[in-house]
Structure 1
Amino acid sequence: MSFENQLKEEMRLVMLRLLNELPSYRGNSSTLHSGLTHWGLSFSRDQVKTELYWLKDQGCVEIELDNPDVIVVKLKERGQDVVENRTKVHGIKRPSA
């Protein structure tokens, strides 16, 4: 696996973890971008939005609002199961024990 793919898998897990910690399990692409930067993962806002759509396609998040500036997402049960290490989704880094 390429280093770029490893970073994407890490990014996806961190975004799910961030959503898991937010009130009502909801957040937006801007907040998640800031959270990723805080954890030393440097991605563009466009990359964050692209990965949020990828997570939606995997059934991990629900997109509640989509406009050109910001996407509002909510963590779904499957996404929480990934964070809690109850399920594995190919393309998302598995949480460490």
Structure 2
Amino acid sequence: MTDRDNLRLLLLLQLNQSPAYTADQEALRRRLGQSGTVATRDQVRTELAWLDNVGAIALRESGGVFIGMLGEEGLEHIQGARDIPGIRKPGPGELA
């Protein structure tokens, strides 16, 4: 497991807990920091783009800000119904 695999899962989990399964990059970065994970703006943007590329989220840009929306494949991954290589599998209790 790499730090990137972990960050990708944490981003999916944050989107899962967001209203309408949607959040912008700054809200995601702030929530990650509140839970003890430090990530730069560039790291968050890079991993959101990667998650979009593999179909785990839908990503759009508005005014220079990336906005991610959890997709069906990303939700299935965090629920354990699908395995997306490059994203850490959630452990027991992480979906609470």
TM-score by length of 1: 0.87
- SS of the counterpart of 1:30? helix
**Percent of residue pairs bearing the same amino acid type:** 30
How far residue 39 of structure 1 moved from its aligned partner, in angstroms, is: 2.0
Match of 2:73 in 1: 78
Q: Across the two proteins, how many residue pairs are aligned to each other?
A: 92
**Per-residue CA shift, 1:30-68, capped at 9, x if unaligned?**
011011112221110111001000000110010133443
How do 1:1-97 residues align onto structure 2 when only pairs under 5 Å count?
Answer: 6-68=2-64, 70-97=65-92
User: Which runs of 5 or more residues in structure 1 are unaligned?
Assistant: none
How far residue 84 of structure 1 moved from its aligned partner, in angstroms, is: 0.7
CA distance, structure 2, for counterparts of residue 92 and residue 11 of structure 1 = 8
TM-score by length of 2: 0.88
Structure 1 residue runs of 4 or more that deviate by more than 6 Å after TM superposition:
none
CA distance, structure 2, for counterparts of residue 22 and residue 41 of structure 1 = 17
User: Which runs of 5 or more residues in structure 2 are unaligned?
Assistant: none
CA distance, structure 1, for counterparts of residue 52 and residue 62 of structure 2 = 12
